[in-house]
A and B are shown apart, each in its own frame.
Chain A
Amino acid sequence: MRKKVRERSKENKNKERPKENKVRKFTSMMKKKLVLLFVAVLAIFAGLLVRIVHINRDNGDSYKKQVLSQQSYDSTILPFKRGSIEDRNGSIFAYSEKVYNVIVDAKLMNTDEGVHIEPTLRALKECFPEADIDEIRTYIKENPGAQYKKFLKRMENDKVVKYREMEAESAADSELDESEKISKNAVWFEEEYIRKYPYDSVACDAIGFVQGNNVGQYGLEEFYNSTLNGLNGRAYGYLNNDGTIERTIKQATDGNTIITTLDVNIQSIVEKHIREFADKYKNNYRLGPAADNVGVIVMNPNNGEIYAMASNPVFNLNDPRNMEDIDLTRYLSLVSGNKTEPDVPIDDEVAVDEEETEDITEEISADDAGEETLNEEDITGQAEESGNSEAETVSEDPLESTEIKNAVWKNFCISDTYEPGSTMKPFTVAAAIDAGKITGNESYECDGALEVGGHVIHCHNRFGDGILNVREGIAKSCNVVLMDIAFALKRDEWLRYNRNFNFGLKTNVDLAGEVNGAETTFTEKMGLTDLAVASFGQGFNVTMIQMISGFSALINGGYYYQPHLVSRVINPEGAVVNEYGDRIVKQVISSETSDKIRDYCTAVVMSDPEECTGWTARPAGYTMGGKTGTAEKLPRSAKNYLISFIGFVPAEKPEVICYVVIDHPNVEDQSNSTRLATLMCHDIMTEVLRYLNIFPTLELTEEEQEQLKNSELDFSEGAVSENAVSGNSVSGNEAQEGEGQTGEDAGTVSVDNAMVPVEGEESGERVIQYDPETGFPIDPNTGEVLDPVTLLPIDENVPSDLEF
């Protein structure tokens, strides 16, 4: 183009311009302007190029990420199913159910000029009556490009199946007009799992609940969170060589199921009696609940398996945040300030604590009844605890208060410490015998009180019990005898045994939230008075689980088993992944000592009612051992008590142990209310023993027969629990699966079935009848009396060697 050119002006002039004489030329000025234009275009191009470079330089990295993150739109998470929690017989405490979120793709809806919208919405309305169709219609209209909008949450499977069927039918129906067809894929369903608890509140403290479906809170749900959870899967697509989307699915790994040692029926029995107690003594003496806390643990002393663990109040695991049905009066102090000290300003908290401490010490030394002086440390520790809760003196709705919720969710059996009281006495005696400090044949004289380190410490019976041997000392729960034994044992040995029995240490029970109470146990600094009161269980704190685990060791031959609630972990295919056998942690006392303690404890229950404290606990027909406890609470001046009873059956070879704690019972004379604990233990044991097929070995008196008859009616009518009935029908085949695993032997099966409310089966029929004379079971078919152990017919002339 750089060549010189020449125009054909002359020729043009002559030939082709008939009208105008001269041909108009592109002047040099025009040429310059054109060049100018070209330069301008060049400049603009350069500017645009700079812009492109800038986009790359300034935003290149973030845009690259953006592009990649958009790609992940095509991959969806496939949620895993959290494992179930089952009881020892396969009843399901907790399981996860698949539900669906309804997602509307407005962009797809609007294809084909939106003719499919109305038929689709009609189908939605038919399958999901709760859907707000107008809202969806407006949304589709206003957001035509939107591809993901969640409209309904947690829909059941059958509704989704129905919609999918309708969609498939309309797509397959060739006669249907295009405008009548349901939009394909414009509505889809996102999978999700929700946690369900068929038994609602049963074993709520032990089971715990979940937050956001997969994060366990409290109890087993929290402790076994990682075991129960699986791994999310993923479905993702990529373009293959042909440009079509290839879908790859990495399936989710479902979580493992845990089989607990809990028994839903025993648990329900326990909770029924706690509820009865709570109802009966509510507002009995003072306004308020029957007791501040009621805790019960039932376990097998020979392997540490916990059958039931319950405390008051209960909450519904399916709706743990709803506090409306729960009596919260006891917890109101957590939000609206302390009732007893309403005027305590927050700033003076520390000062008040010190005053409080002094007061208590003064009271103890001034008051003749003061049983002890405590370590400065311990009291301050306890005072601080209450001080902390006082600090939250912001008044708020108790139904919404986090403190109250935490208090309700807390498992009293493992998370609260208290002074155990006289249930500690067998431990002291066991230590003394095992250490060789006493033989058990010693006699002591009790004149009602003993002066220790300047304090007069009274016995429960202020007139004195006279001369007592060790067995009688335990049976009558004599403080003086125990103090003498403790003095024989000495501080170091007492501490050694105390630690051997795991006081101040966690039992490592497989539940979240266990405390060890270490800051409230005695150390080497304990003085003589401390040792004196410690001998009968005052001055230091324990947890229920520590108590019952240690007591099991006392009576089972000296073997300390780790208490546990889970026996097996099975994977989704049903194979056992992990088996938690019985774990003997140590032998704490010799089996000879254990035999003696069992004998002493039997005296507590089996002696003449005049001579013992626990006779009311004995279930008719059974031999039982145990120990009562009446602990004076802090501050001593308030005269509040924590009463308890720990009992085991049968006395000779314990198979079940039950520990009942009633904290601050709502009665006038708390110090003499120990019967409440023994009676509750009696009621629970009466039902549990029969359920467990532990047969009575004693003949029944007429009175007892009458009682038994009455309770039998309760037993068959009330069955397990009102809650339990709703349970098994909920979860469909999943929940039913477990029922088949019950079979152990012929004898138990019938009883188990009687207790597990399976649909269509009348539970009353299966209850075992007992021979009124011997208390032995009767074969329901033949009417013959059966041997309680072998379950075979026996000749009535041959006395059972098991008879006590």
Chain B
Amino acid sequence: MKRYQAVKEQRTYVDRTLIFIVLFLLCFGLIMIYSASAYAAMRANEGSAFYLFSQAKATLIGLAAMVIVSRFDYHILRKLAWPAYGVSCIAVLLVLTPLGMTKNGARRWLNIMGQSLQPAEICKVGVIVFFAAYICANLKRISKASGFLQTMLLTFLPCALVYFVTDNLSTAIIIFCIVYIMLFVASEKSIWYILGAVAVAGLALLMVYVVENNIIPAEMSFRLNRIKAWRNPEAYASSTSYQTLQALYSIGSGGFLGKGLGQSTQKLGYIPEAQNDMIFSIICEELGMFGALAVMLLFILLIWHFMMIANNAPDLFGSLLVTGVMTHFAVQVVLNIAVVTNTLPNTGITLPFISYGGTSTLFLLTEVGIVLSVSRSIRFE
């Protein structure tokens, strides 16, 4: 008891560095959004700061959510596991109801009281919370074949919903990756996961080979076509790979120190919606390779902090929660940069905290709130 009191007298651990990194990324993101979107906003007669204000609003709400969530004990989330899973799936299904909203030709949004919301983002948080609790409760079973299959079924449901209902392959992949890596970390037979990942990578390479050599006609699906465009962007310069190629031009024209903040020319109508998925290319153009390196270092620091919190969390549940969040960030950053640099075929993935997107920022901050909540429960000797 004495010892306990002594511990209690210690102030709770707050990861200030993490908070600083997050705030820095948020501010930097706002600046870049303003830089990248001012032209497009004015072209749309909305005033140059339209996207900036919209994003700032979401950021403030998100920060509030982060603070609130970080104050709660994260163990509550264990009880909310199944409801979170249900809400995630239903939210995605709601897109099919009149609440659904179509933007840019894709029905991926919900319109709730005039605010647009991307249910796929809710789904990501829900999946992290649910599987952290689920793995915690079934730690032995998931290493067995039957338990693994059951887990996979639970994983595929939200993935399938996201893919088929909102036609959003990239988010489905991210959700799958999050669960897969959480399982990998928790499972006792992790070697199979590595083999599985290698197998998937091999399949993907085979697919690329097949498409590239026209064994399957690429016209069958626009996704196959994207693979062709990915391998040879110049050949599809005016159609499929227009955006990719413009992003590459942007990156290539930046040089080491870039053209200077706000000096990008590619954002003037050449890169469509430069403030969105392709914002990293604007960073490269305006701030150069140096700016890109700085941003990547910040994300590495962020992920490093997540890892340390996960490794020092008081229990498995907390660790798995943080692992999920860490995976979410890592996968999204890696995929985004890979797409922008045409290392992977083009697919719509945003850069956390920097790309424009209210829902995304709001839920990412909520996730950071969960991580902070876990970190608060860490006690020092």
Contacts and interface: CB of A to CB of B under 8 A. Distances in A.
Nearest to B338: A48
B347 interface: no
Given A37-B185, A59-B248, A31 B311 contact: yes
B284 interface: yes
B379 A6 contact: yes
B315 A24 contact: yes
A285 interface: no
A710 interface: no
Contacts of B136: 24
Interface string B307-328: 1111111111111100100110
Interface string B260-292: 000001101010000000000000100001001
A62 B256 CA distance: 15
| Interface core residue of A12, A24, A244 (most chain B CB under 10 Å) | A24
B312 A25 contact: no
A41 B334 contact: yes
A457 B270 CA distance: 86
Given A5-B380, A243-B42, A63 B317 contact: no
A67 B253 contact: yes
A789 interface: no
Interface in B341-381: 341, 343, 377-381
| Interface core residue of A24, A55, A68 (most chain B CB under 10 Å) | A55
A52 B251 contact: yes
Contacts of A48: 296, 334, 337-338, 341, 343
B254 A34 contact: no
A70 B343 CA distance: 24
A454 B250 CA distance: 90
A12 B308 contact: no
B255 A45 contact: no
A174 B219 CA distance: 44
A416 B265 CA distance: 60
Interface in B182-235: 184-186, 188, 190
A25 B316 contact: yes
Task: Report the contact-size class of chain B (Cβ under 8 Å from the partner).
Answer: 35 or more
B343 A51 contact: yes
A171 interface: no
Given A16-B75, A45-B296, A64-B253, A7 B315 contact: yes
B270 A70 contact: yes
Nearest to B190: A33
A230 to B, nearest CB: 32
B304 A38 contact: yes
A378 B332 CA distance: 88
Given A42-B300, A243-B39, A4 B381 contact: yes
A44 B185 contact: no
Nearest to B315: A23
Contacts of A243: 38-39, 42, 48
Contacts of B314: 7-9, 12, 23
B249 interface: yes
A8 B377 CA distance: 9
A734 B279 CA distance: 56
Contacts of A29: 188
A53 interface: yes
B296 to A, nearest CB: 5
B101 to A, nearest CB: 15
Interface residues of A, number: 50
A30 interface: yes
A733 interface: no
Nearest to A144: B239
Contacts of A31: 311
A11 B315 contact: no
Given A8-B314, A48-B337, A49-B296, A34 B252 contact: no
Contact of B381 (A6, A41, A145): A6
A33 B341 CA distance: 28
A26 B334 contact: no
B266 A145 contact: no
Given A1-B312, A35-B307, A60-B255, A52 B289 contact: yes
B316 A4 contact: no
B246 to A, nearest CB: 8
A42 B305 CA distance: 13
Nearest to A7: B314
Contacts of A161: none
A11 B379 CA distance: 12
Given A24-B316, A64-B252, A67-B250, A41 B341 contact: no
Contact of A38 (B253, B255, B256, B303): B303
A107 to B, nearest CB: 11
A5 B334 contact: no
A38 B303 CA distance: 8
Interface string A82-100: 0000000000000000000
A590 to B, nearest CB: 76
A185 to B, nearest CB: 13
A723 interface: no
| Interface core residue of A42, A60, A68 (most chain B CB under 10 Å) | A60
B330 interface: yes
B150 interface: no
A145 B270 CA distance: 12
B153 interface: no
B99 interface: no
Contact of A63 (B139, B248, B300, B308): B248
A287 interface: no
A45 B300 contact: yes
A5 B378 contact: yes
A33 B334 CA distance: 19
Interface of B: 4, 7, 15, 38-39, 42, 48, 75, 136, 139, 181, 184-186, 188, 190, 238-239, 242, 248-256, 265-266, 268, 270, 284, 289, 292-293, 296, 299-300, 303-305, 307-320, 323, 326-327, 330, 334, 337-338, 341, 343, 377-381
The 9 A-B residue pairs with the shortest CB-CB distance, nearest first, are A63-B252, A26-B319, A24-B316, A1-B308, A64-B253, A7-B314, A63-B249, A6-B381, A67-B253
Given A12-B315, A34-B323, A56-B254, 13 more contacts: A6-B381, A12-B314, A26-B310, A31-B311, A34-B185, A34-B310, A38-B303, A45-B296, A45-B334, A60-B253, A63-B253, A67-B249, A244-B42
27 contacts: A1-B305, A1-B309, A5-B381, A8-B379, A12-B315, A16-B75, A26-B310, A26-B318, A26-B320, A34-B311, A35-B307, A37-B326, A38-B304, A38-B307, A41-B330, A45-B300, A48-B337, A49-B289, A63-B249, A66-B249, A67-B250, A67-B266, A71-B265, A145-B239, A146-B238, A239-B268, A243-B39
